[in-house]
Amino acid sequence: MSKTSKASLLALAGFGLATAGAAWYGSRYSRGNRDEWYRSLRKPSFTPPDKVFPVAWTTLYVLIAYSGWRVWSAAPSPHRDKALRLWISQLAANAQWSKLFFKQRSPVLALADIFALEGSIIGYIAAAHKVDRTAAYAFVPYAAWVAFATVLNAEILRLNPDLQ
């Protein structure tokens, strides 16, 4: 295996570990999120069943890591640097949402965070598209899922005005 191939595999592992770290951080707060407080909330009829979330997020996290790695693997450029900064910012916002919603029980702060998250995702897609179109397209399902999650978060706030 060449030195370049080893570096690329190590980078892929690094992106995987960073993504897994964010997933782990968020899961610390959403594990058992079906506590009394969450169960007591009024939720929209289109709320997916609990079993959908781990499947969706596992798939999305794989795409997030893969996309970041592809951008990192591209030739250095200002566009690449911008995309990587946005990749990091979306990962940070992603990790915070569960803490804000489930631990702090603040759907208002979680909604602000998820708007920032979606902005980072869309910004990343635009920046990544200038570097590696496959990497950009790998983020499209994530953008769609987070848009859906934004609507869920907003609906929970609407249906539970006492949380505002």
Residue by residue, pLDDT tens for the chain (164 residues) are: 666 788 888 999 999 999 999 999 988 887 665 678 888 999 999 999 989 999 999 999 999 999 999 999 999 999 999 999 999 999 999 999 999 999 999 999 999 999 999 999 999 999 999 999 999 999 999 999 999 999 999 999 999 999 87
Kindly tell me the sign of the dihedral angle through the C-alpha atoms of 65, 69, 70, 71. positive
Concatenate the DSSP letters of all residues of 132-159 into one string: -HHHHHHTHHHHHHHHHHHHHHHHHHHH
Q: How far is CA 41 from the centre of its chain?
A: 23
- What pLDDT does 31 receive? 61
pLDDT score at 2:
65
- Tell me what pLDDT residue 28 has: 86
Q: Tell me the pTM.
A: 0.92
* Domains of the chain, CATH where assigned: 3-163 (1.20.1260.100)
CA-CA distance, 87 to 138, in Å (whole number)? 12
**The residue type at 160:** N
Distance CA 31, CA 163 (A): 21
pLDDT at residue number 1: 60
